[in-house]
Amino acid sequence: MLLPTLREQVLHANKEIARRGLAPHTFGNASGIDRLGADGSGREPLVVIKPSGVDYAALTAADLVVTDLDGKIVEGSLRPSSDLDTHTLLYRAFPQIGGVVHTHSEFATSWAQAGRPIPCLGTTHADYFHGPVPVTKPLTAQQVAEAYVRNTGEVIVQRFRDGNLDPIAVPGVLVAGHAPFAWGISVAEAVEHADVLEYIARLAFRTVLLRLQYDPSGPSDSAIPVYVSEHHYQRKHGPKATYGQL
């Protein structure tokens, strides 16, 4: 069986998003990539992803599907997640990332449905996302008809290109009218980012409602000062980071 270690990591990630309540029913999927291929011999990169519509509880490492970067199945007897083409496109466009997680987590999805980016309203946000959590443009009718899943990836990549955003500094996005995608250098980090994204979506939801109570006319998404968010982001991610152990 190809990629036993990555299979275990991807299996764990899929179970984690269920356990943390980020993906009720089968509303979510996690994948990981081995960019050197299974044996490090310079073969094509290989992606390990959840099969479609399988319950998280019953999932085993052997159920996972291995594909190449074009989504062609290399190993596995089950159909891959119906979101596969979004994952592979993200891996092609963002060469720094090692894992992708898609959820329909409650508050992040509500922001996605509202079609609004999540402004940076506090340091919890600034510790993980360098700037707002962006929201994509809606897909056009043509994009849906042509290749819905791949074009979901396209609108994400477009949003990062248009905004000149670094996917390592902004490790997630809201697809308008749909739900969030998050990623990281590993699939475990992608899970963490998906979970933090849900948390900051909860904080931001309550914050904008509170602000409206007190100042109905004012802008409800004015962010914290850049000198604060920048400080927080850099102390955790910058070259002189002081957070965590060395």
Report the interface residues with its own copies, using CB under 8 A: 24-25, 27, 51-54, 78-79, 82, 104, 106-107, 109-114, 116, 121-124, 138-139, 141, 144-145, 148, 177-179, 192, 195-196, 199, 202-214, 216, 220-221, 224-225, 227-228, 231, 235, 242-246
Is 46 or 175 the residue whose CB approaches its own copies more closely?
A: 175
Is 35 or 137 the residue whose CB approaches its own copies more closely?
A: 137
Is 38 or 120 the residue whose CB approaches its own copies more closely?
A: 120
Question: Is 243 an active-site residue?
Answer: yes
In whole angstroms, the minimum distance from the beta carbon of 139 to its own copies comes to: 7
Q: Which of 63, 127, 199, 221 is catalytic?
A: 127
Is 7 or 104 the residue whose CB approaches its own copies more closely?
A: 104
In whole angstroms, the minimum distance from the beta carbon of 133 to its own copies comes to: 13
In whole angstroms, the minimum distance from the beta carbon of 196 to its own copies comes to: 7
Place of tokens 């390592």: 168
Exposure string for 207-238, b = 16+ CB within 10 A, e = fewer: bbeebeeeeeeeebeebeeeeebeebbbeeee
In whole angstroms, the minimum distance from the beta carbon of 140 to its own copies comes to: 9
Cα–Cα distance measured from residue 113 to residue 246, given in angstroms and rounded to the nearest whole number: 40
Is 34 or 233 the residue whose CB approaches its own copies more closely?
A: 233
In whole angstroms, the minimum distance from the beta carbon of 168 to its own copies comes to: 18
Alpha-carbon 37 to chain mean position: 22
Question: Is 214 an active-site residue?
Answer: no
Is 38 or 201 the residue whose CB approaches its own copies more closely?
A: 201
| Torsion angles phi and psi, residue 29, rounded to 5 | -165, 150
Q: Which of 39, 70, 166, 243 is catalytic?
A: 243
In whole angstroms, the minimum distance from the beta carbon of 166 to its own copies comes to: 22
Active-site annotation, residues: 127, 243
